Amino acid sequence: MSLDEVTISRAIIARYSNKLTDNLKLDAAVVGGGPAGLVCAWRLALKGRKVALFERKLSVGGGMWGGGMMFNEIVVQAEAKPILDELGVPSVEFEPGYFTADAVTCMSTLTSKACLAGAAVFNLISVEDVMVREDRVTGLVINWSAVEMGGLHVDPLVLAASWVVEATGHATEVMAVIQRKVDQKLLTPSGRLEGERSMWAERAETDTLKNTKEAFPGVIVAGMSANATFGSYRMGPVFGGMLLSGEKAARIIDERLG
């Protein structure tokens, strides 16, 4: 068979355009492809929900690839081990209750599971703003990350979502843009972002799960951004809270969608 370069180009342009067009009205739009966002997208896709995940970088994975200080092993506490088991990611008990897993196996498997379950994953797209109607976030404003990086003056596009999952990690970017631009209090004690606190793994992990909830009408915060939004601690390279938080965010959305 002879290969025609223009056919290859047409195939990519046509298929990508279809994929993007097909994901402009979503049950859930997940912002950020770290562990929390990916688990959330995976779980929602398994429930048959229409879900897409938008990741700024070339690769999804966020802070998981590097384990702790580039030692690419992660620690997952006993409570979250069933998620690794369900993914099929091998883990080994180090001391009672502390399981370790290879960070690359974990992230690549999670990504694969999310995609194969039906979540659409769009890398190289940054969420730069939200759409608000009647005091509720109803969609996302997206642009190519290359436009953002290049500082180019190119207008964005918009998609609609019944729910937005803010899983942008430490920077909690979606909540930050809401705080900056929307004249309405956040659903936090002060009505503003409470801010991330320093290291306390035990408290941080428990709080991550508690803080996984609606932080603005239409927006569920998950993962590290849940603690940054509601003012709790960081936890270092223990990832159980991130996985469980993604799972909880998906459960909340699935229930609310009915």
Q: Which residues bind ligand 48H (CB under 6 A)?
A: 31-37, 54-57, 62-64, 126-127, 167-171, 173, 223-225, 234-236, 242
Q: Shortest distance, CB of residue 135 to ligand 48H, whole angstroms?
A: 22
CA 100 – CA 93 distance, rounded (Å): 6
Query: Measured from the CB atom, is 33 or 139 closer to ligand 48H?
Result: 33
First vs last C-alpha separation in the chain: 50
- How near is the Cβ of 170 to ligand 48H at its closest, in Å? 6
Shorter beta-carbon distance to ligand 48H: residue 12 or 199:
199
Q: How far is the CB of 128 from ligand 48H (least distance, A)?
A: 7
* Residue 239 CB coordination number (10 Å): 29
Q: How far is the CB of 8 from ligand 48H (least distance, A)?
A: 28
**Rounded Cα gap, residues 191 and 171, in angstroms:** 18
Least separation in angstroms between residue 74's CB and ligand 48H is: 9
Return the sign of the alpha-carbon dihedral for residues 205, 102, 47, 178.
positive
Q: How far is the CB of 117 from ligand 48H (least distance, A)?
A: 18
Nearer to ligand 48H, 54 or 216 (CB): 54
Q: How many CB atoms lie within 10 A of CB 213?
A: 17
* 29-44 CB burial, b ≥16 within 10 A, e <16: bbbbbbbbbbbbbbbb
Say if residues 82 and 13 touch (Cβ distance below 8 Å).
no
Residue 7 or 86: the one with the smaller Cβ distance to ligand 48H is 86
Least spacing, CB of residue 118 vs ligand 48H, in Å: 20
Token readout for 137 is 């976030």
Nearer to ligand 48H, 127 or 186 (CB): 127
Residue 90 or 237: the one with the smaller Cβ distance to ligand 48H is 237
Positive or negative torsion for Cα 252, 254, 255, 258:
positive
Q: What SS3 state is found at 18?
A: helix
The residue length of the chain stands at 258
Relative orientation angle of helices 240-257 and 35-46, to the nearest 10 degrees: 40
Give the residue with the Cβ less far from ligand 48H, 14 or 236: 236
